[in-house]
Structure formats: C-alpha cells, structure tokens
Amino acid sequence: MKLTIADLADDQYAGRRVLVRVDFNVPIEGDQVREDYRLRRAVPTIEHLARLGARVLLISHLGKPRGRIVRSLSLKPVADRLGQILHVAGVRFSHDTIGEAAQQAVMAMKPGEVLVLENLRFYPGEEANDPAFARALASLGDLYVNDAFGTMHRAHASTYGAAQLFPIRLAGFLVQKEIKVLSQVRANPPRPFKVIVGGIKIADKLAALKALIPKADRVLLGGGIAYTFLAAQGMVVGSSPVERSYLGWATEVLARYGEKIRLPQDHIIARTLKDAPQLASGAILHGYRAFDIGPETSLAYTHELMQGEGCIFWNGPLGAFEVDRFAEGTITVARTIALAHWRGAMAVVGGGDTVASLRKAEVLETEMTHISTGGGAALQYVSGQDLPGLEVLSEKT
C-alpha cells in the first residue's frame, strides 16, 4: 500500500508548496479542451490540498512536443478550463515550468491557490529523466504528490527522477482509486476475463499484451494493433501499420494462444483518412490501409462481449473514430460493453482516446464499472508489470 495525501495530518499542508504531477494530456481542438474527463478526475486531490491551505503546483505534459516549445501544445487552455471546473479560488498559469520566472510565480502564490506550470515536455530533460531537470522541478516544491495515473508507466523526470528527491512521496486520490479497481482486474478478475485492445501506440501495447494474453480467456484485437498479427499470419495488409520487430513473437503467440485470440476478418480501408472508405474482406490493396474494423468483425465481437458475466477490460479504439466514417467499430464495441455491464459484467475501460470515444458513442460514465484515465498505464498494470511512477511512492508503514 502506498502513502496517500489523506495519510498525512491535515495541518502538514498549510502554506506548503505541494508539487502535484497530474495527467492533463487531454485532446485539444484549437484552444478548447475537447474532453475534460482527466481534469475532472484530478479535482478531488487539487481541492483537498487547496482547502488545507497548500500552494498547489500542477505539472503535466501535453502531446508530443519532443523537447521544444510548441505553442499549440501549451497547457494554458487546460488551465483556463480547470479554472471553470474548480470550486476553489484562483487558478494561475506560468509560461515557464522551471527556473527563475517559475520560482517567482510560485513565490507570489497565496495559500490555497493553484498554479499550472507549462508543458513539461517543452524541456528535453523531462522524457530523458535528466537529473538537472529533475532537481530544478523538485526545488519548486516542499512535498511531492503523483495523481497522474496515465503516466505512471513512464520513468520521466516528473514521475520518477524528481520524486526520488523528496523524503515523502504521496499518491493522490485518483491514483488511489485507480489502483483499487485495477488491482482487482490484475489479481483476480471475474471469469471469463475478456480483453479488448486497439489503438495506435503499437509497441507499448504489444509489450503489455505479452503478459496479458496468458491471463485472459479471450483477446479481441482491432485498431492499429491488429495488423502486426494479421501480417504474421501472412495476410497482405497494404500500408496498415506493422511492428516488424514483433512479427516473430506474434507468430509464436498465435500458435500457442490462437484459440483465444480474435482478429478482424473484414476492414474499412482507404488511401488516407480524407478518402472515401471501402470494405475489404481479404487482402488490403497496396496503398490502402485499414482505418476501422468491418461490419462482420463488429458483429463477431458483439457476440463475444455481450454476455453479462465475467470482466471486460478495454483499451484502445478499434478505428480512427475521430472521423465519423471510421467510427462504427469503436462505437459498436463501446455500446456492447455498456450493455454487458448493464447485464452484470464488470466493465473497465481506459485510455485518453478510448475515453473520448465513449462520448462519441454516447456511453455515460455510469454505464461502466470504472473508466480509467490511463491507457498504456492501465494495460501495463493489469498485465502484472510494475509502474515506475507508482513504485517510487512512499510505502504506508
């Protein structure tokens, strides 16, 4: 068990600078937050600390600026949206994350105020877990809290290096809740245990599937991840994404666990996302790629998922659902899982984009057992692997 923010006496927070790693990596359109689920899930921790008189410093990444300043990936719109959601007064924003200007912004805070610091990944030191960047981050705060469940599978400066520099490292309420539910799926899922994985972060997901496939009773694959397996079966997949280094492994897995693995049998294909879709039942033509599972696959997956028993764990959209004509497979699966839950199955869904797809499918938060803010992190944790950002937190004694 990890030490949480509730384990520290209330009077320990007054006036102190609390550095809170949050996961505000949310979909943005223009300067608007398109999906604020992750922001809302961070509110209990932020308000708890603010009410106890802490100076709350929020640090997060957004997107992939790769160590450079990318204006469209500023956290400013996120800070603005957070200001609308929070009940406590005053959300400020600092254009600097570390250094003199950031220190000054922190010094100017009153107890109970909240400051959002600019995107951590504008600095190359964040993803490199650079010791100097970690020290600069750590020097901003007196206490360290991690409530960014979605990034706990990464040993970056904000989730690992900086955390190590604090004598006490606390879990926030969101992390506490996530671990409570996901540890049940990890250790003792109701059977049958059905796992459905899609999405585009292919290497990450294949690595987690390695550990998860043996534990699951059924594995349904879709989205970008399916084509490495189909290519391993010898299917012609056109320009669909294939992770070459995993082909040998995929062949072995299909030989050993093929009975429980389901792959798309038909595909919605196009040359690019902007082109008109076509249906492919066998090989995918040269120059075309699959952007969604086809109707036959959707129907087969519906039959696999619709019973009200056991546990369903889903991460990763089945297609490029942001574009309406490639959204059908994802919407069908989302609604089928909600139906299975209504009938009594445990339903756990996670991932930034997967959660956004629930909105498109008009599935409500209350229609699932748990909606995790983590995709890769949830997948890795459920598969039995450790999360560096969780390991580094203090143990409850």
Q: Which residues sit at the interface with ligand ADP, rule CB under 6 A? A: 198-201, 223-224, 290-291, 315-317, 319-322, 351-354, 375
| 24, burial (CB in 10 Å: exposed 0-12, middle 13-18, buried 19+) | buried
309 binds, options Mg ion, ligand ADP, none, Cβ within 5 to 8 A by partner type: none
Q: Is the peptide bond before 192 cis (omega within 30 degrees of 0)?
A: yes
Binding site for Mg ion (CB under 5 A): 352-353
* 151 Cβ contact partners less than 8 Å away, ≥ 6 residues apart: 21, 23, 25, 61, 158, 159, 374, 377, 389
Output the smallest distance, CB 353 to Mg ion, in A: 4
Strand 346-350 and strand 193-197: pairing? Answer: unpaired
Residue 112 interacts with which of ligand ADP, Mg ion, none, CB < 5 to 8 Å by class: none
Q: Which is nearer to ligand ADP, 17 or 186 (CB)?
A: 186
Q: Active site residue: 2, 17, 38, 177, which one?
A: 38
Query: Where does 52-75 have alpha helices with state H?
Result: none
Q: 220 forms bridges with which residues in the sheet? A: 196, 262
| Residues paired with residue 311 on neighbouring β-strands, in sequence order | 193, 346
Q: Would you call 205 a catalytic residue per the annotation?
A: no
Q: Do 129 and 389 form a contact (C-beta atoms < 8 A)? A: no
Q: Which does 150 bind (CB under 5 to 8 A by kind): Mg ion, ligand ADP, none?
A: none
Picked from ligand ADP, Mg ion, none, the partner binding residue 290 (CB below 5 to 8 A depending on kind) is: ligand ADP
| Cβ 121 to ligand ADP shortest distance, Å | 16
Query: Distance of alpha carbon 247 from its chain centroid, rounded?
Result: 25
Q: How many angstroms from the chain centroid is the CA of residue 106?
A: 29
Q: Is 180 a catalytic residue?
A: no
Torsion of CA 201, 202, 208, 211, to 10 degrees: 170
| Closer residue to ligand ADP (CB): 164 or 239 | 239
Element (H, E) at 186: helix 173-187
Q: What percentage of the chain's residues is helix, strand, coil (to nearest 5)?
A: 45, 20, 40
CB of 54 to ligand ADP, least distance (A): 31
Is there a catalytic annotation at residue 38? Answer: yes
- Tell me whether residue 93 or residue 313 sits nearer to Mg ion (CB atom): 313
Partner whose binding site includes residue 125, from ligand ADP, Mg ion, none (CB under 5 to 8 Å by kind): none
Residue closer to ligand ADP (CB basis): 32 or 272: 272
Question: Which of 112, 199, 319, 376 does the annotation list as catalytic?
Answer: 376
The answer to whether 352 is a known catalytic residue is yes
Q: How far apart are alpha carbons 391 and 395 in whole angstroms?
A: 9
Structure tokens at 268: 């919605």
Residue 302 CB, nearest distance to ligand ADP (Å)? 18
The catalytically annotated residue of 352, 374, 375, 389 is: 352
Q: Report the residue number, 178 or 353, with the smaller CB distance to Mg ion.
A: 353
Burial profile 281-304: b = 16 or more Cβ within 10 angstroms, e = fewer:
eeebeeebbbbbbbeebbebbbeb
Query: In terms of CB distance, is 310 or 375 closer to ligand ADP?
Result: 375
Q: How far is the CB of 375 from Mg ion (least distance, A)?
A: 6
Q: Choose the catalytic residue: 2, 154, 169, 201.
A: 201
Q: How far is the CB of 100 from Mg ion (least distance, A)?
A: 34
Cα–Cα distance, 171 to 377 (Å, whole number): 15
**Residue 280 CA: distances (Å) to CA of 92, 220, 238, 240, 261:** 51, 19, 11, 13, 21
CA–chain centroid gap for 141, Å, is 26
Taking CB within 5 to 8 Å according to partner kind, which of ligand ADP, Mg ion, none is near residue 147?
none
Give the nearer residue to ligand ADP in terms of CB position, either 89 or 283.
Answer: 283
CB of residue 128 vs Mg ion: minimum separation in angstroms? Answer: 21
Enumerate the active-site residues: 38, 201, 352, 376
